[in-house]
C-alpha cells in the first residue's frame, strides 16, 4: 500500500489536532454520567410513545463562578502586637500566642488556624479584662488592654468568615470543573452535613466561653468537604434534570397541540412509566434542599452581612426561593412535566 507521509512542517499541527480530538472524545465520555443516561432514556421512551423524534439534548450552562478571593472576604489588616503591648499585658498571658502568630509558621498558617489564633487571643484578653489585672495596670496600660480587647472583639466575626471563605475546602465545593452528582452518590450529602453543622456551631458559639473549639475536629470537617465538590455537583445535577425535563415537556406540548392526538394509534395510556426516574428525582430534590438549607443556616450563623458578591451568588445559585436558581427551577420543571402528562391523559378519555 502506498503511503503518504505527512510533511515535516505539518507534523506538529497534525499531532496537536489528533491530541485535541482524542481529548475531546475522552471529555465527552466523562460527561456522560448515570444521571444523563436515565434522563435521556426517559426522553427516548417518551418520544417513541408519542411517535415523535427524541429531542436533541443540549448541554446545560455551567454554574456561575464562585466570587473571587477579594470579593468573598472581609478586609482584615494584619495587626501585630508589638513588644510593648505584650510586655505591658504580660498579666494576661498572651506572650506565647503572639509569639506563635508572629513566627514564620504563623504567617503562613491556614485560614482556619488563623481564626483559631484570633479566637484564643480574644478569649484570653476578654477573660483578663474581667479579672483583677486591669486594676493592677496604670492608666495607659489599662487603656491599651481595653483598646486591644475591643479591637479583637470587632475583628473576630470577620476572621471567622474569612476562615471559611478563604479555605480551599470551601471554595472547591463550588468548583465549576465538576459533573452532575451521580444518583448513587446522593448519600454523600448525609456524610458531609455534619461538617456544615460543626462550622455553623463554630460561628454561632465563638463568643461563648463555654464552647471550646478543637483544631483536629475543625480540620477533620474541612477535610470532609474536600472529598468532592458536592455543592457544584448537586447544582449541576439539578440543572441537568431541569433541562431534560423541559425538553421532555416540549414533546408533550407538541402532542397536545396536534388536533388528532386522541385518534392517533399512540394513546396516553402508553406514556412511559416514570416511577424509577421519579424516585431518583425526589431524592435529588430532597437531598439538595437539605444541603442548600444547611448552607443557608451556616451563612446566617455569621453575624455579618455577606459581601455583595457572595450575596449575589447565594441568591442566584443557592436559593430555595428564587425561581431562576437551580433547585426551584428543577422543582418547577418537574411539576410542569407531571401536569402535562396528566393533561394529555385526561384530554383523551
**How many Å apart are CA 251 and CA 46, to the nearest integer?**
8
Residue 304 φ/ψ, nearest 5 degrees: -140, 150
pLDDT of 144: 85
d(CA 73, CA 6): 54
pLDDT at site 120: 92
Measured CA to CA in angstroms, residue 19 lies from 6, 13, 16, 31, 121 at distances of 16, 10, 5, 18, 55
> Are the C-beta atoms of 169 and 223 separated by less than 8 Å?
yes
Give dist(CA 337, CA 286) in Å, integer. Answer: 18
Q: What is the DSSP letter of 92?
A: G
**Predicted local confidence at residue 177, as pLDDT:** 93
Greatest alpha-carbon pair distance for the chain in Å reads 100
Cell match 417518551: residue?
46
Q: Which of 145, 79, 68 is nearest to 117 (CA)?
A: 79
The gap from C-alpha 35 to its chain's centroid, in whole angstroms, comes to 19
Give pLDDT, residue 107.
61
Q: Is 139 exposed, middle or buried (0-12, 13-18, 19+ CB in 10 A)?
A: exposed
pLDDT (tens digit, 0 to 9) for every residue of the chain, 349 residues total?
A: 433 344 444 344 434 434 433 443 334 334 559 999 999 999 999 999 999 999 998 999 999 999 999 999 998 776 665 655 666 678 888 877 877 776 645 566 788 888 998 899 999 999 999 998 988 888 888 888 898 899 899 999 999 999 999 899 999 999 999 999 999 999 999 999 999 999 999 999 999 989 988 899 999 999 999 999 999 999 999 999 999 999 999 999 999 988 554 655 445 557 899 999 999 999 999 999 999 999 999 999 999 999 999 999 999 999 999 999 999 999 999 999 999 999 988 876 6
User: In angstroms, rounded to a whole number, what is the distance separating the alpha carbons of residues 248 and 117?
Assistant: 54
Question: Which phi-psi region, left, alpha or beta, contains residue 18 (left: φ > 0; alpha: ψ -120 to 50)?
Answer: alpha
* Contacts of 349 by beta carbon, 8 Å cutoff, 6+ apart: none
DSSP states along 235-295 = HHHHHHHHHHHHHHHHHHHHHHH-TTTTTSSS-GGGPPP-HHHHHHHHHHHHHHHHHHHHH
Q: What is the pLDDT of residue 94?
A: 81
How many Cβ atoms sit within 10 Å of the Cβ of residue 97? 19
Name the residue with cell 425538553: 247
Residue 74 near residue 158, CB atoms below 8 Å: yes
Q: Are 280 and 183 in contact (CB under 8 A)?
A: yes
Pull the grid cell for residue 169: 475546602
**What is the distance between the alpha carbons of residues 175 and 236, in angstroms, rounded to a whole number?**
11
The span from the CA of 46 to the CA of 193, in Å, is 36
pLDDT of residue 345: 84
The conformation of residue 145, written as its DSSP 8-state character, comes to H
Amino acid at each position: 500500500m502506498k503511503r503518504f507521509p505527512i510533511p515535516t512542517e505539518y507534523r506538529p499541527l497534525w499531532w496537536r489536532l489528533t491530541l485535541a480530538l482524542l481529548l475531546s472524545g475522552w471529555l465527552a465520555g466523562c460527561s456522560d454520567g448515570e444521571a444523563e443516561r436515565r434522563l435521556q432514556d426517559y426522553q427516548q421512551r417518551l418520544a417513541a410513545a408519542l411517535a415523535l423524534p427524541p429531542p436533541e439534548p443540549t448541554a446545560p450552562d455551567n454554574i456561575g463562578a464562585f466570587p473571587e478571593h477579594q470579593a468573598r472576604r472581609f478586609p482584615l489588616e494584619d495587626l501585630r502586637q508589638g513588644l510593648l503591648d505584650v510586655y505591658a499585658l504580660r498579666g494576661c498571658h498572651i506572650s506565647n500566642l503572639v509569639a506563635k502568630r508572629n513566627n514564620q509558621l504563623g504567617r503562613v498558617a491556614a485560614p482556619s488556624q488563623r481564626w483559631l489564633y484570633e479566637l484564643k487571643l480574644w478569649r484570653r484578653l476578654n477573660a483578663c479584662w474581667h479579672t483583677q489585672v486591669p486594676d493592677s495596670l496604670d492608666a495607659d496600660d489599662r487603656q491599651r488592654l481595653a483598646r486591644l480587647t475591643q479591637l479583637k472583639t470587632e475583628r473576630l466575626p470577620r476572621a471567622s468568615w474569612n476562615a471559611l471563605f478563604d479555605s480551599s475546602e470551601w471554595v472547591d465545593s463550588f468548583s465549576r470543573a465538576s459533573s452532575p452528582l451521580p444518583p448513587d452518590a446522593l448519600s454523600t450529602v448525609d456524610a458531609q452535613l455534619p461538617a456544615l453543622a460543626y462550622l455553623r456551631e463554630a460561628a454561632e458559639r465563638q463568643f461563648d466561653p463555654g464552647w471550646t473549639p478543637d483544631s483536629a475536629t475543625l480540620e477533620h470537617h474541612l477535610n470532609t468537604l474536600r472529598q468532592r465538590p458536592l455543592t457544584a455537583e448537586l447544582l449541576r445535577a439539578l440543572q441537568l434534570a431541569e433541562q431534560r425535563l423541559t425538553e421532555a415537556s416540549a414533546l408533550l406540548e407538541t402532542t397536545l397541540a396536534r388536533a388528532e392526538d386522541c385518534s392517533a394509534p399512540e394513546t396516553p395510556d402508553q406514556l412511559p412509566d416514570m416511577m424509577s426516574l421519579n424516585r431518583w428525582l425526589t431524592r435529588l430534590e430532597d437531598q439538595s434542599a437539605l444541603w442548600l438549607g444547611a448552607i443557608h443556616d451556616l451563612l446566617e450563623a455569621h453575624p455579618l452581612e455577606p459581601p455583595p458578591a457572595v450575596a449575589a451568588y447565594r441568591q442566584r445559585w443557592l436559593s430555595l426561593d428564587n425561581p431562576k436558581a437551580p433547585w426551584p427551577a428543577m422543582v418547577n420543571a418537574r411539576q410542569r412535566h407531571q401536569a402535562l402528562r396528566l393533561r394529555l391523559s385526561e384530554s383523551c378519555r
